[in-house]
Structure 1
């Protein structure tokens, strides 16, 4: 079985953000949470807990974003 891109989730102080997701995306998040729990041996987390690390991972892997962000730093 291929490893998932996310590993165990860090316990980080959250900032509240409200978003609307299509039902299919929510179902996929629920399924991903179950797969992550099975792979890591941890508890199944709520789909809301997955959004932040997924977005962070996506942005970290976006080379164009990384270049622009790096150029912006003084």
Structure 2
């Protein structure tokens, strides 16, 4: 079994997003969704639903961003 960075996608109210993706990125999202669906024992996840959790995971794992953000919150007292 592959060790994917994303876990199961929460069945949440979908949000409509309009953007253009390079064809190769779209193919990768489709493939990732298929693998994720197989591993979770579900039907293939809509690849568009991967974008938000991937962005959340990326931002959460960006230590530089977290450091700057903590510094900005400290200065503003948030």
State the TM bucket, normalised to the shorter chain: 0.7 to 0.9
State the shift of 1:72 in Å: 2.3
Q: Which runs of 5+ in 2 are unaligned?
A: none
Moved more, 57-66 or 10-19: 10-19
Runs of 4+ residues over 2 Å off in structure 1? 11-17
Moved more, 28-37 or 40-49: 40-49
State the shift of 1:69 in Å: 1.7
Aligned length: 74
Q: TM-score, with normalisation over the residues of structure 2? A: 0.83
Moved more, 3-12 or 54-63: 3-12
Moved more, 7-16 or 49-58: 7-16
